[in-house]
Structure 1
Amino acid sequence: MKDLQVSSESVRIVNPIGSTLQQRYQILEQLGHSGSVTTYLAVDLQVPGNLQLKCAIHRYELPDATPDRPELQLAISSAQTLYDLSRKVDRVAIVYSYFAEDGAFYIVREFVAGVPLTQELVVDRPWTQSQVIMLLADLLDVLRDVERCDASPNLVSIRQLVRRNLDRKLVLMNLPVALVVPPQSIAPDLLTVGKIAIAAATGAGADRSRSDSQFAQWQQQASQIDRPELIAIVDRLISTEPARCYPSIAAAWQAVVGLIPQFLVHQHSRADTRTEIARHVQLLVDRGTEFYEVGNCQQALSAYDRAISLDPQCVDAYCGRGNARRYMGDYPGSWEDFSTAVELDPDRGIAYIGRALAACFKPQSDYRPNDDFERGKNLLPNPTDALSYVMRGTAKAQLFDDNGAIADYSTAISLNPRLLVAYNNRGNLRQNLGDMDGALADFSAVLEIDPHSAIAYNNRAILYTQSGEFTSAVADYHRALEIQPELVSVYNNLGNNYCQMGELALAIANYTQALELDPEFAVAYTNRANVYRIQGDCHEALTDYDRAIALDPNLVIGYYNRGICHRQIGNHQAAIADYTQTLALNSQYYYAYYHRGNARQYVGDKHGAIADYTQTIYFDPNHLHAHYNRAIVRSELHDVQGAIEDLERAIAISPTFAQAYYQRGWVLSRNDDHQFALADYQRAIDLQPDYLDAYYYRGYSYHSLGDLSAAIADFSHSISIDPKYAPAYYQRGKIYTQIGDITGAIADYHQAANLYLDRGDSKTYQRILQILDRLVNRL
């Protein structure tokens, strides 16, 4: 809620029709007037596109609208209470904002088309028993919801209740703008409910005066009310004897809803009644869908729950509730709802896709979501509504048909420009495809429609992280947590962001927070383990990897990263086992082939290493190091042609990759092709001037070609780069011996012998001592 804005102007607008408040709300017409309160119909000019969102504005005359006046402070307090309440209760019209301007106080809320309850009760004939029982359920539902949100039900007035056209439910339009009173006895509320029910049952109207004795004799004028259970409920509601009164609103509500199945199903099973129930259920489903589409999942759940309570076989309600639950992070609940929908209707494509999505977030044992994605997509060949396009697009995305998914999301948006989930999903997919501008536009569009969308802030933050805009990402993650403090994935993603910033302690803290909220969040264990591994704490890392895999035995990334950790501590066989399990779960995860190839090369399994590098290249033909490493193994197996081909491919992929030139020179020199080898060594040195091995082996090739001066120069340069490089002393000593510089040769051999001894190579040390003995005898 933005801070209250108070205008310094004191001129009141007597007739505000046609004016614009807050440079946003344009007033169209007057809807009503009561006392000092006038209600207007307006449109919100800041809603994107040409949607012309209608809203209702209540104008309260204030004697003094200065910020420090008690009257204004009381108005703000009550308006904030109503704002909070409207976010929690479906039966309260949503409050968009409130402010003071031009000597008046305004509350802006959603425009609800409907019939006032007072008008509905002015009829010429009594209501039926079914109508009375549903009216009681509606009235008590409103009071119960208000009470459950810590607001006083005594503030509810019959004049503020309207029957909403969309779902035929009673909705509270407004509360008095005054200091919210503490909860009082609920007896007056239940008495009022009872009197309203009698007014409907007798056809007398709500405003007609009637004595308590006349109320007590209500049944004489309502002969159609003959069910003892209903009569007993009404009598208890209007009773003034404490012992007979209901102890609470909840108790009265429970008694009433307990009669609904008897009245609407068993006792009144006529076709018209069943049709009325079906219509009511459909209206609830439609309203739940409307709430879900704009990200208001709590109120969507409320609508779907009511639909299911009236019709436990309603597949649409289970699908809708499954979507809302998944959006709110209740993945087990989402799985159950979609599984129920599949059982009720095996041909409902959305149900299969929803179940598969829930399983992606909370894996189920012995279940492969791709089967359901494929089945669901095939059952939705020609969607007719926006949400079906979203679900089919999601299935296509999971099956790697990215372009098809984007097309479906775009169609959904064209059908419903306010469908948040379509923007979010398309943004995620564009982000994965590298279309950062498109993704940013989608997430920002969500926030224009709903500035309180924690998911959109989270998604945009991920985008900022990928783009290296870490500070912006932190800001968006924190906004998401302010809106939805227990959104576990945000803590996990914030940890990823801090990890890339190098703030490892903050990364671990956020992963830990995610795990405190959800101790079964396997991915968070894996991510925290990665940070421990980066810090060199492999014991803690392996502990977390083990926890993650225990929670989710199909967690591909868990096995893969644990394999990296095993290699880091030198346990290459364990790493090979983890990479093998990674590939058993996902044969497309080619990174595991590459790293398993490295591990196999280390333990001497050269043929296994070549097979893994070959698989890596199959998935990624431009994988530079797979070509380079395969070339090394091939050269060790004397496959000169294969090694040269791989190195040439590596050079084509990266013409500045000095190691590839060096390695090709080394392969050529081993096969006595020293002249061509010299060119490769020179290119490697040009790219990397301090390339020790390139100087050394170029010196070796010069020596083989008889250019002893050039060879001595290269060996000397090698020594200047690394004064402890024993082979260079040894080779230079050989050349000095060859040209008759015995003193120089003895000095180099002495240096080489000592360095080999320091390295623990006693065999080479002894061989050099024998050479020295012969040289000394020549002096």
Structure 2
Amino acid sequence: MIKSVVLGAKQVNINFRRSTLVFWLTSLSIFSYVTVLFPVHGINAETNSIEFTKQSSKRLSAQQLHDRAIKKRQGGDYEGAIADYTELIRLEPTNAKAYNDRATAKKEIASERKFGDFQAKITDLKGALADNNEAIRLELQNASFYSSRAETKQKMNDFNGSLADYKEAMRLEPSNDDFYRNRAALFVAISDYQAALADYDEAIRLKPRGFNYFVRAIFKEDLIKQQFRETPEFKDSVVDDYTKCIQTADKSYDKHILIGCYNALATFNIDEIQDYDGALAILNEAIRLNSKDSSLYASRAFAKIETRDYRGALADANEAISLDHKFVRAYISLGRAKSYLRDNQGALADYDRAYPLFDKWALNNLARISYYQGLAQSSLGNEQKALEDFDRARFDYEWNLRSRGGSRRDREYYADVLQRPKKAPVEQIKSPTLSYQSGNANSRVGNYRQAIADYSEAIRLKPDFADAFNNRGNAKYNLEDKQGAISDYSEAIRLKPDSINAFNNRGNAKSDLGDKEGAIADYNEAIRIKPNYADAYNGRGNAKSALGDQQGPIADFNEAIRISPDHYKAYNNRGNARSALGDKQGAIADFNEAIRLNSNFLQVYKNRSNSKKYLGDEQGAIADRIEFIQQGVSSKNEKVAISDYDELMRLDPSNKSKYYSGRARIKLKLEDYQGAISDYNEVIRAEPNNADSYSSRAFAKLRISNYQGAIDDCTQAIRISQGYENYDYYYIRGDAKLELKDYQGAIDDYNQVVINGRAYGASFYKNRPYTPHTRRGDAKMRLKNYQGALDDYTRAIQSFPDVKDFLKFRDLAQKALDEMRK
């Protein structure tokens, strides 16, 4: 999981691995010391005026050096800062603070060293340690100096020495929460997680401020990711810490921490809890507070993808890129959204842009990019490329795991990683986690059979993988294999007895199979483990309703709504329960709230329509019925969709042209071209300036060989759409002219589609893929312009190298050209 936190004006991408956590926490604590005021030494009243002037000038010069050194450090000019601190020490040899700050600058240089440049790094740290020692010699009672030396010793792997210095710092300042928080980072480095948690707890006890809650939440989340702590209670404690961070952060001083906390909480909801609606609510509030943070838009794009709001995700990813054009996660989200919108070529272009930009904090971004590239290639039918990308994703993923000990890797290191062979040995690419993630990805897009295969592979590699059993159960459930789902849920529960999701899911499956009592027992167990589990109350309410319990379900739905006020399904179900009791007005109120929370929830429109009809509100009932059909028609199979459009025309005759257009599109898919033409005739009669309807009718006419009719319709569409992108109109007309042997006319139209070598528009002829280049090449061949045809076929091959027909066309053009030259 990648999260973003903004510090000052600099954005830092954080990969919450153990080593990264150590570096980030210690570097933050070091930075805090920079702002300590420069000490002003006293002036001897007996000094004569000349000496006073010299001393004053000297002190002013020292202050200027100190201020300039801070600015240089903030700007990353650590060498320049060290030079200023050295000059400051020359002016004031007993200035302990200058020694300590110079030590910090040297540590920062060490952190910036290239991976593998160990000797230079050790030299930097030895210099920092010498400065720490001198600062302490000059001021033995300065607790912050001991803490700074402790950090230096930690970087040199002198953990015992580091612990001793922290102990002395705490003796001198027992109420300083920074020391406990910094020592916690040391305990994380040596894997003493219990001691680390105790120190984070103490830091919060001493000062319950936003930043302390924030870093404890990060630490706990890291334990979850490493599978040390995965109980629901521990996950709840992470949410509690992020929530307290938001509540206690000083909105003026800690605004960046506050925004980072919103982002982290939202991402935790996405990755660990799968509460995507909750994540969206959190991110909306964060963006309201700071609309210029690219990481927030990138995270919201991810959440919108999970809720299938792909166009919304597209907008957010583009906004993130406009704010930070090098933000790799934004390009990944942009590519994913495009893939879901079937623009896989555009997605691949975005992944290509992301690849050289991956942030040095997160090697697993490489795995993500490769994996999504594989999905896009697979969707385009390029299976061999997809397999290579998936192999690379596995390799990158395993490499990421092997590099957990490192905390900072520069771009040259990753550049070297990028040169690795794409194919990794089989024994190196097996990963239960990657197979599990692949299953999750396939489930999200509805590829449940492939998801089952992925989860099965994860289980084969890790037989005690409880979450894989649970998610395989979900995939089986979606394929209507309810009994198989129950078997998997039961195994997940055996391996992980506190798995509330498995209990809840098994309850759902049992309920669907008619075992309402068994379902209630599972919901009860989920609620016992997690009393504030809204979904379990909602499921139990449904089961009780099916058993004829009239009041019990309403109590459960009330509790689900109390726990989760935006639980639209609970509102819908409570509406049904109220309706069954005769409270139609109360039911409608619940249905209204469900629609307010999720206007895309189809069933609620049907339910509200029934209640309105019962109360005599015929118009309201019809309006809801129309909404129900309109929203659902796109997800129906074609024949059912046509029936739905027929009903829409009957219910809403004033919008018939819109429904004719929708029905015509379905008929095109069914290859009922004559029926499509008939419907488009009705649309054009009602909307004579609808250019798309003319071009779509032209497409249908082209299919039934009415080429002149297709040309006439495209010409009309082009006339109407002057000034707008109308590539398809020229493309279809070019195809029609080609069939009528008007080759030059066809070329002229294809020239409108191929601009600066790039082809626009999309067309399929006789169910075989062609491009504007190949169609123009065909026309040029007929005119014996073999060189031009060869150029066009070559360009088509560059775009689609795996289409064998294009290779044949090129060979024919080359052969004809060679014959002509003889």
TMscore range, shorter length: 0.3 to 0.5
Larger RCO (CA within 8 A; separation ≥ 6)? 2
Larger radius of gyration: 1
TM-score between both structures, scaled by the size of structure 1: 0.40
**What is the TM-score normalised by the length of structure 2?**
0.39
Instruction: Flag the structure with higher helix content.
Output: 2
Name the structure where strand makes up a greater proportion of residues. Answer: 1
